[in-house]
Amino acid sequence: MSANITQLAYLIATALFILALHWMNDPKTARKGVMSGVVGMTLAIAATWIQPDIIIHHGWILAAVLLGIGIGYPLALVPLTAVPQRTALSHAFGGLAASLVGAAEFFHWLHAAPQEMTTFNMVALLAEVGLGGLTVTGSLMAAGKLQGVSWIPQRPVTYPGQNFVNLLLLLLAIGLGAALVHDPSQAYAAWIFAGLVSIALLFGVLLIIPIGGADMPTVISILNSYAGLSAVAMGFVLNNKLLITAGALDGSSGLILSIVMCKAMNRSFFNVLFGAFGQVQASTASAEGKTYKAETAEGAAQLLEQASLVVIVPGYGMAVSQAQHKVRELYDQLTKKGVTVKFAIHPVAGRMPGHMNVLLAEAEIPYEALVEADEINPDMPQADVVLVVGANDVVNPAAHTDKSSPIYGMPIINADKARTVLAIKRSKNPGFAGIENDLYYLDKTWMLFGDAKAVVGELVKNLSGAGH
Amino acid sequence: MTDQVLALTQTAAAAAGAVEAAKTDLWPLLFVFLLSTFIGVGVVSRVSRLLHTPLMSLTNAISAIAVVGAIIFTGSELPPEQRVLGFIALAASMTNIVSGFFITDRMLKMFKEKRDQK
C-alpha cells in the first residue's frame, strides 16, 4: 500500500516537472514553472522519506537536508554576473550526488547482495559513477575558469598527443569496466572500481583544460547534459522511473542547449571538445598597417543623440565590468530623446546560454527590446549607430569574409552593415578567442577605449548633461 | 501488459524497497527513458531563448531528483560507510534543489515586459 502511494507521488511529480519546463516557454508563465518544479520536488522527497519499512535513520536525513539548505541558499544569492560559475558548480554537485550514490550501491551489492550484480545493473552503475565523476571535476574546472581562479589556466592548454592520451585513458576505462562487469565479485573488485572512479575524475580535468572561455557556453551545456544522464543511469540502477524521467528532461535540455550553442558558432561537438579553439592565429600579421580611430565620449554621445535607431550589442565585456546598469541608464536617456534602442543578443555572447538576457533583465530593460541575432540582422542597414559593448567575436566580419579565420561561417550580428559603428573595448588586444577583428578598422568605426562601465557612464553623463 | 508492468514494479518496490529491488525491468525502463527524452526535447526546444539561463538552473534543480536515491541510502539499514556516502550525496542534492529553484525564481522575477511609467 505504502509503495502505491510512493509511486503515485512519483507519477504526479513527473507530470509537474514536465509542466515546469513547458511553462518556461514564455516569460509570463515561467515563474509558475518554478512553482510546479518546487511542488514536484517536495512531493518526491516526502514520498521517499516517508517509507517506514525502508527509512529508519531520520536524524541523518534531516541533518543532510539542513546542511544542503545551508549551502544552497547563499549560493542562490550570488550576483547575477556570477551565474555561470554557480551553474557550473551546481553541475558538479549533481555529478557528485550521482557518483556517491553509485559508489554506495556498488559497495552494498559487493558486500550484501552480489546476486544484484547482473551485467545490466553493473553497466548502468558504472555509467552513473563514470558520468558523475567526470562531471564533478569537469564542472569544477569550468567553474574555476569562469571565476578566474588564479591557479587554473584561463587559456586553453594543449600538448602534443593530447587526444591520443585521452583516447588511451578512455580505452583503459572501458577495459577496466568490462573486467568488472564480467566478474563483479572478483577479489580486486573494490580496487578496480576505485581505479575507474579515478580515471573518470582525471578525465573530467583533461576534457576541460583545452577549452577556452569563448567555448564555455557549449561546455556548460554539455556538462548539464552529463549531469542529467548520470541521474538517468541512477534510475536504471535503482529501478526508479522518476529518476529516469527527471534525468532525461535535464539531459535533453542540456543536449538542446549544446546544439543551439554549436550552431551559433558553426562548429561541431567534436570540434568544441577536441579542437582546442583559440590557439595562436596567423591573422595577427594582417592587422599591421591598419589603424584604429578613437572617439571621445562627447563625440560618441552626439552621434547617438542624432540617431533614430541604435542597436546595442552586449558581450562578455559588459558582464566583466558589470556595466548593465549603466547601459540601462543609456537606454533611458536615448529612449527619452525619441531614439529607438534595440539590443542584439547573440546566442554565445557571454559565458553561458542566455547570459546577456539575464543581465539586461536585471537592469530592468524590458525584454521586448532584446532581439535575437538572426532577427535583427535584416534591420542592421537601417541602424544609424551600432554600439558594441564588450562583444568581439560575435560581430567579427571575418566570419563572412575570411576563409582562413577559425570563426569563418559562424553566424554573426552584422554590425558592419550599420551606418556608424561605435565599439567599446577595454584594450587594443584581440578578444578571448585571440582573433583580430576587422570591424574596428572600418572607415565608419570609432573606438571608445576603456572599461565598459566607465565609458557607458561617460556617454550617459554627456547625454544627460547635454542641455545645449 | 501495462498491468503486468505495474504489478512487477509494485511487487519489486514493496517486497524489498528500492535498494533491494530484486529485478530491474530493463525494457520498461528503456521505454520510459526514450519517451521522456522525446518529451524533454519537444518541451525544451520551445523554451524562449530569452530564458536559457533560468532554464538551465531550473533543469539543474530538477535533475537533483538524485535526492531520492540519496535519501534511501542515507536513511536505510546499511553499514555507516555507505550511509555517509548517501549523506554527502543528499546534502549535495539539497544544495542544488534549494539554490536552483531560488535563483531561477530570482532571475525570472527580473524579466519584465514594460516598466511602469515613472
pLDDT tens per residue across span A368-398: 999 998 899 999 999 999 999 988 888 999 8
- Please say if the pLDDT value at position A333 is more than 90: yes
- Please say if the pLDDT value at position B17 is more than 50: no
pLDDT tens per residue across span B68-104: 999 999 999 999 999 999 999 999 999 999 999 999 9
For position A216, what pLDDT does the model report? 87
Query: Average pLDDT, stretch A83-88?
Result: 94
Check A94 against B33: CB less than 8 A apart.
Answer: no
For position A174, what pLDDT does the model report? 94
Q: Where are the domains of chain A?
A: 78-274, 286-465
For position A289, what pLDDT does the model report? 56
pLDDT confidence of A229, banded at 50, 70, 90? very high
- Please say if the pLDDT value at position B11 is more than 50: no
pLDDT tens per residue across span B49-73: 899 999 999 999 999 999 999 999 9
- Please say if the pLDDT value at position A467 is more than 60: no
**Pick from A97, A352, A368: which is nearest to B56 by CB?**
A352
Helix/strand/coil (H/E/C) assignment for every residue in chain A: CHHHHHHHHHHHHHHHHHHHHHHCCCCCCHHHHHHHHHHHHHHHHHHHHCCCCCCCCHHHHHHHHHHHHHHHHHHCCCCHHHHHHHHHHHHHHHHHHHHHHHHHHHHHHHHHCHHHCCHHHHHHHHHHHHHHHHHHHHHHHHHHHHHCCCCCCCCCCCCCCHHHHHHHHHHHHHHHHHHHHHCCCCCCHHHHHHHHHHHHHHHHHHHHCCCCHHHHHHHHHHHHHHHHHHHHHHHHHHCCHHHHHHHHHHHHHHHHHHHHHHHHHCCCHHHHHHCCCCCCCHHHHHHCCCCCCECCHHHHHHHHHHCCEEEEEECHHHHHCCCHHHHHHHHHHHHHCCCEEEEEECCCCCCCCCHHHHHHHHCCCCHHHEEEHHHHHHHHHHCCEEEEECCCHHHCCHHHHCCCCCCCCCCCCCHHHCCEEEEEECCCCCCCCCCCCHHHHCCCEEEEECCHHHHHHHHHHHHHHCCC
Query: Average pLDDT, stretch A419-438?
Result: 75
Distance of CA B77 to the CA centre of its chain: 24
Q: Where are the domains of chain B?
A: 1-46, 49-111
CATH architecture under which domain A286-465 falls: 3-Layer(aba) Sandwich (3.40)
All cell numbers assigned to A425: 573595448
Mean pLDDT: which of A57-71, A269-283, A386-400 is highest? A57-71
Distance of residue A13 Cα from the nearest chain B Cα, in angstroms: 10
Active site residue A332: no
Query: Average pLDDT, stretch A220-232?
Result: 94
Average pLDDT value over all residues in chain B:
83
pLDDT confidence of A290, banded at 50, 70, 90? low
Which member of A215, A250, A393, A416 is catalytic? A393
* Prediction ipTM score: 0.89
For position B21, what pLDDT does the model report? 46
Preferred mutation among A253, A324, A368 to probe B, highest tally of B CBs within 10 A: A253
For position B4, what pLDDT does the model report? 53
Please give the model's pTM, rounded to 2 decimal places: 0.88
Backbone torsions φ then ψ of A421, nearest 5 degrees: -120, 130
Residues in B closer than 8 angstroms to A8, CB to CB, are none
pLDDT confidence of A281, banded at 50, 70, 90? very low
Lowest-confidence segment of A56-65, A241-250, A401-410 by average pLDDT = A401-410
Average pLDDT value over all residues in chain A:
89
Which of A333, A317, A308, A315 has its CA nearest to residue A419?
A: A308
Nearest chain A residue (CA) to B64: A94
For position A215, what pLDDT does the model report? 83
pLDDT confidence of A1, banded at 50, 70, 90? low
Distance of residue B15 Cα from the nearest chain A Cα, in angstroms: 9
For position A279, what pLDDT does the model report? 46
pLDDT confidence of B16, banded at 50, 70, 90? very low
